[in-house]
Chain A
Amino acid sequence: MREDMLASILSELNGTSADIEASAVISTDGLMIASVLPQGMDEDRVGAMSAAMLSLGDRTSGELGRGELEQVLIKGDNGFVLMTHAGEDAVVTVMAKPRAKLGLIFLDVKRASENISQML
C-alpha cells in the first residue's frame, strides 16, 4: 500500500521530465523502499551507493560549515545522479540524462521528496 503510493509519486516524478531516467526511495541505511528503475539496474547497488554518498555528504556539509545537507549531485559522462533527503530516514535518488535541465529537476525532486517524507 505505502509502496504503491510511493511508486506512484516516483512514476509521476519520472513523467515530469523526459530527462529523468530512474528514481527510487531508499532508507538511510541503504535499503530500497520503492523504485521506478530501468530493467537490469541493481536495486541493492542503487540503495547502498545512495546511502553511502548521502551520509558522506551530510558529514562533509556539516564539518565544512555548509550546514544541513540538501542534496548530493554526481555528474558523469552519461548523466547525473541526484540524491536528496526525504525527511530524516530516507533518500530520494534520481538519475537523469547528460544534458538534463537541472534547475527544473531540482524543483520537481524537491516537491516529490516533501510528499514522500510526509508518507514515511
Chain B
Amino acid sequence: MSDLKIIFTGPVGAGKTTAISSISDVPPVNTDKAASDMTKVKKNQTTVAFDYGVMNLNGDEKIHLYGTPGQERFNFMWDILSTNALGVILLIDGSRKEPLNDLIFFINVFKDLISKTALAVGVSQLDKSANKCLKPYNKKLREMNIKSAVFEVDARSKTDISLLVKALLFSIDQGLEYAS
C-alpha cells in the first residue's frame, strides 16, 4: 500500500484544523460546529468529528491527513481515527497555562500508537506566548522516554506544517528500516 495515514491531535485551539487546511492539496473536509463549551472564549468553531486532507508526495504517493477533535468527550473519535495510522503529529498550544500537561496528556492517550509508530511535536501560538523556549518540551519527552522532534510552528504556515510532516515521515522511514 502506497497510501500513508497520519493523524493530527492535541488540545482545542492548538491549530489542528488550520494545519490540515494549510497543507492539504485537496479541499479539506471539516466538521467544525459553533462552539457552546469553554472553547468559545478562544474561537467560534470547534471540530466534532474529524478534519481530513491529502498531501501529495513525489510520485503518486499521498498522505491522508486526519485531524481529531480536541475535547475529551470526543475520545471515541481519537480511537477511530488512530486505526492504521502510521504516525502522530501532536500540536500543542504554547500560549496555554500548562502546555507541558497537554503534552503529557496526549502522549499518554496515544501511547500505544506512538510506541509502534512515530511522533512529531509542533508547538504553536508561541508568538502570543511569553515563554518561547522549546527546551522544556524536549526535556519532558526525554523523561517520558519518547523520541520525537519538536518544532515551533504556526499552524497557518504551509512551510511550518510541511516541515513538521516531513520530520514525522523521516522518523517513520527510520522505524521501517530498523524493522526490516
Contacts and interface: CB of A to CB of B under 8 A. Distances in A.
B85 interface: no
B82 interface: no
Contacts of A55: 31, 33, 48-49
Contacts, number: 52
B34 interface: yes
Contacts of A51: 33, 48-49
Interface stretch (B73-81, B101-109, B166-174): B73-81
Interface in A22-68: 27-31, 44-45, 47-49, 51-53, 55-56, 58-59
A75 B116 CA distance: 34
17 contacts: A28-B34, A28-B48, A29-B48, A31-B37, A44-B73, A45-B73, A47-B73, A48-B73, A51-B33, A52-B31, A52-B74, A52-B76, A52-B77, A53-B49, A55-B31, A55-B49, A59-B31
Interface of B: 29, 31, 33-37, 39, 46, 48-49, 69, 71, 73-74, 76-77
